[in-house]
Amino acid sequence: MKISKNQDYEIIIEDLTQNGEGVGRIDGYALFVKDTVIGDRVIARVTKANKNYGYGRLMEIIEPSPDRVMPPCPAARACGGCTLMAMSYASQLEFKRKLIRGNLARIGGLTEIEVPPVIGMDKPYRYRNKAQFPVGSDRDGNIVIGFYAGRTHSIIPCDDCLIGDSVNAGILAEIKSHMLKYKIKPYDELSHTGLIRHVLIRVGFATGEVMVCLVINGEALPASDELVKALQNLPLPDDRKIASVMLNLNRESTNVILGTECRLLWGAPYIEDFIGKIKYRISPLSFYQVNPVQTRKLYGLALDFAELTGNETVWDLYCGIGTISLFLAQNARKVYGVEIVPQAIEDARRNAAINGITNVEFFTGRAEEILPDFYARESARAGAPMTADVIVVDPPRKGCAETLLATMVKMQPARIVYVSCDSATLARDLKYLTQNGYEVKKVQGVDMFGMTGHVETVCLLSKLHADQHIGV
C-alpha cells in the first residue's frame, strides 16, 4: 500500500519512542504519532511520508487505551515537554522498564539481565526545582510567557507548569505585571530586539529558598528596585521565600538561554539546598539535579552499589558540581572528581568546603583526556599501573568515549558504578566493559522525569576473576 501525505489512516498504537511518540503500522509501514498511548486505536493524518516510515497527527481517538488518562495540564498537547502525560503513571514506569531492558538486550547483548521495576516518585507532579520560561509576544503583540511548542520556538502560554514548583505562577504574574507597567518589551528572536528573554526560577526544596533570575538582552532592568520589592512582598506557598533576585546578561543572537555574566539585584548570588546531609550552593549557572527527591534515591543507590568501607580510592567521572563525589566521600578514603565545566568545578570545591569535606580533589577537563593522562603519568612515576578501587561514571547522553572505557579497564577497579541518562548508550558501553573483564551485577531504573520519556539507570559492574575472564 502506498502511504500518502495528508491522508487519514486507522492504526493501533503498539509502542512508544523515548520521545513519547506513539508507533503504529499500516501494512508494516511505521507511522509515528505524537499524543498517543500504547493501546490506542486512532485516526492519524500523515504529515510526512518517507519510504519506510512516516509521521502523523492525531485526528481522533476511536478507542482509548486502558492506560490513557486525561492530562491535567491544559497545555499538555501543545507544549513540547510532558510527552507522556496522557499515560497513567504506573504505565509510564513500566514503559521505562521495558525501554531499559530492550536497549540492554538489543544493543548490549545482555539478554539475561534482570531489570526490576523502575523506582517511581511518590508525587509525580511538582517535582522540578528549576524552570526556564521563554518570554515573547503573540501575534497581537501581547506578552507571552510559557514554553516552546515541540520542535519550534513558538511560545505556548503556560504560567503554571504542573511538574514545576507551585511558586512559579505568582512570580511570573508579577514579572508580567512589571513589564506592562514599565512598558518593557519582551525579546524578539528574529529582530534581536526587546529586553527580557527568559525567566529562570530555582527552588531549594529542603530550604524553601527561591531564586528569580531574569535573562535580559541588555545591561539593566528598568525599575528593578520596584520589581525586587514586589517579589519580596509576594505571598508564596509551602513556606517558600525569595532569597535571590538576579539578572543574567545575554546579548548574543543565539538560542543559548543563559549568558556568562550574572548581576545581583537583591539577596545572595545563590540559594542553598540539601540532598541528604550534603549542602549545595546553587547559582544561576550551576548544574544541579532538577528532581532532588529522586536524586537522593539515585545517589543512594550509587553509594550502595559502590560498597564503600572507608578505605577506597574512588574516581567520579563527569562529576558536575560534585553531587555524587560528596556522597561518596562520606564513606571513602579519597575521591577524585573530573568535570569539563570550570564553573561546575568551582561549585564542587565550594560545596566540599561548606560541608567540611577534605578528602576530595577535583580536576577540570574532559574525562576522556584527564583520566588517561593521569593514569599514564602516575603509572610511569610509580613504575606500576595506577589502580582504583571503585570508578563511578555519570556521562552525558552520548555516553563514554572508548578511550575512557579502555583506561577504566586498565585501572582494574573492583567495581564500576555507571549512572546513565540514556539506556541506549549505557548498553553500548556495557557491551565494551563486559567484553573486557567485567560482569553486570545489578541494573536499576529511577524515574527522575515523570511525564516524559527520560529515565535514569544505575548499573553495578564487578571485575571478573582471571579464571572467569573471556574478554577480547
3-state secondary structure of 305: helix
Rounded-to-integer distance, Cα 69 and Cα 446, Å: 22
Are 257 and 215 in contact by the 8 Å Cβ rule? The answer is yes
Q: Which residues are bridge partners to 313 per DSSP?
A: 334
Residue with cell 560498597: 307
Residues 6+ away with beta carbon under 8 Å from 265: 221, 224, 227, 228, 245, 246, 247
Rounded-to-integer distance, Cα 355 and Cα 376, Å: 32
Neighbours of 89 (CB within 10 A): 18
CA angle 110, 115, 116 (to 5 degrees): 170
Neighbours of 266 (CB within 10 A): 17
Rounded-to-integer distance, Cα 211 and Cα 201, Å: 6
Q: Which residues are bridge partners to 379 per DSSP?
A: none
3-state secondary structure of 39: coil
Identified catalytic residue from 73, 82, 319, 421: 421
Task: Characterise 402 by phi-psi region: left (phi > 0), alpha (psi -120 to 50), beta (else).
Answer: alpha
Residue type, 359: N
In the sheet with 313-317, reading across from the earlier edge strand, the strands are 360-364, 334-339, 313-317, 390-393, 415-420, 456-463, 438-446
Are 441 and 461 in contact by the 8 Å Cβ rule? The answer is yes
73 in catalytic set: no
> Per-residue b/e over 198-219, b at no fewer than 16 CB within 10 Å?
bbbbbbbbbbbbbbbbbbbbee
What are the CA-CA distances from residue 270 to residues 133, 135, 215 (Å)? Answer: 19, 23, 16
DSSP string, 367-419: HHHHHHHHHHHHHHHHTS----SEEEE---TT---HHHHHHHHHH--SEEEEE
Q: Which residues are bridge partners to 415 per DSSP?
A: 390, 462
Residues identified as active-site = 421
